[in-house]
Structure 1
Amino acid sequence: MDAGQEPQGVAEELQLAIGLLVRHIRMASAGSGVSLSRTSVLKRLDRDGPTTVTELAQAEMIRPQSLNATVSGLLTAGYVERTAHPTDGRRKVIALTERGRRFVRERKEAGHGRLADLIADRLTPAEQRVVAQAVPLLRRLAES
C-alpha cells in the first residue's frame, strides 16, 4: 500500500485485511457454539466490567431491544448474571459469571495464539514493529 494512498483506498484494503484476520481468529476458536454477537458482548463485559443493557448497547452500537435478546440467551446459558443496580432499583446490571470469564479467557487464548502465530510466521521483525505501532491507531478508529 502506497503511503500517499487516498483514505478510500486505505479503507478498502484495511476492511479486506481485517475480514481475513477475523476469519483466521474465528477458525482458531470455532466450535464454541456461541454466536459472534454473544461473544462480542462477553468480551466487552470482560474488558469493561459490569454494566447495564443500555450502556452495553451503546458500546456495541446496537439498540437495547436487540441486545436484550442476546443477554437473555447468555443468562440462560449461564455466561452472565443480572443483579440490581446499586443506585437505581429500576435498572439491572449485567456481569460475567465464572463460566463467562472462562469462556472469554479460552476464546482469547485461541484467537491470540493464532494471530501471534501469523505475526511471527509471516512478518519480519521490522514488519512486526510496524504492526505494533499501528495497533493504537486502529483501536482509536474502532472506538471513535
Structure 2
Amino acid sequence: MGAPDPGTIADELQYVVGALVRRRRALSTSDDVTPSQVSILKRLDREGPHTVADLARLDKITHQSVTVSAARLVDRGLVRREPDAADGRRKLLVITAAGQSLLAVRRDAGHELLTEAIAARFSPAERRRISASLTLLRRLID
C-alpha cells in the first residue's frame, strides 16, 4: 500500500482544523467581540502596534472593515490610538492591558476545553500518537 495522497490529507486536515475552530467559537465566552476584532487583537498582541492600513493589508481585508472593527475596540478600551513617532500624521493601534486580558481569558477557556476533551476521548497511547503527529504538522508552519 502506497503513501496517502497529499490532497486527501490536506482535505481532512482542513476539515478537522476548521471543525475544531468552529467548536471553540461556539463554546466561547460571550464577550461580544467579533472574530475580526479578535484577529486584530491577536495581531497587535503578537506583533505590536500597526496602522489600520497595515492591518488591512496583512489580513487581506478592506480598510473600511478594519476601521470599523478598530473603532469598536477603541470604544471598549481594548485598543488605543497613538501617534507614530516616525510619522506624526499616522496613528498606530496599540493593544491595551484590557485587550491582553480579554485574549488571555479566551485563550485559557479554549485551552481548558480542549484539554478536557483530549483527556476524556483519547487513551494514553492515542495521546502519544497525536503528540507525535503534532511534531510533524509543525513542519507545515516552520
TM-score, normalised to structure 2's length?
0.84
2:97 corresponds to which residue?
A: 98
Whole-Å Cα distance in 2 between the matches of residues 72 and 112 of structure 1?
29
Whole-Å Cα distance in 2 between the matches of residues 58 and 4 of structure 1?
39
2:32 corresponds to which residue?
A: 33
Matches within 5 A, 1:91-130: 91-123=90-122, 124-130=126-132
Residue by residue, what CA displacement relative to the aligned partner does 1:15-35 show, whole Å, maximum 9, x if unpaired?
Answer: 210121012211332312111
Cα 1:5/1:71, change in 2 over 3 Å:
same
Letter in 2 for 1:127: R
SS in structure 2 of the partner of residue 102 of structure 1: helix
Flag as ranges the 4+ runs of structure 1 deviating above 4 A. Answer: none
Whole-Å Cα distance in 1 between the matches of residues 78 and 71 of structure 2?
10
Structure 1, unmatched stretches of 5+, are: none
Whole-Å Cα distance in 2 between the matches of residues 3 and 69 of structure 1?
51
Whole-Å Cα distance in 1 between the matches of residues 102 and 137 of structure 2?
25
Whole-Å Cα distance in 2 between the matches of residues 11 and 87 of structure 1?
43
Instruction: Report how far residue 3 of structure 1 moved.
Output: 7.5
**Would you say the 8 A contact 1:43–1:104 is kept in 2?**
yes
TM-score, normalised to structure 1's length?
0.83
Cα 1:131/1:111, change in 2 over 3 Å:
farther
Cα 1:138/1:106, change in 2 over 3 Å:
farther
Largest Rg, 1 or 2 = 2
Structure with bigger RCO (C-alpha 8 Å, 6+ apart): 1
Q: CA RMSD in A?
A: 2.1
Whole-Å Cα distance in 1 between the matches of residues 41 and 47 of structure 2?
10
Letter in 2 for 1:129: S
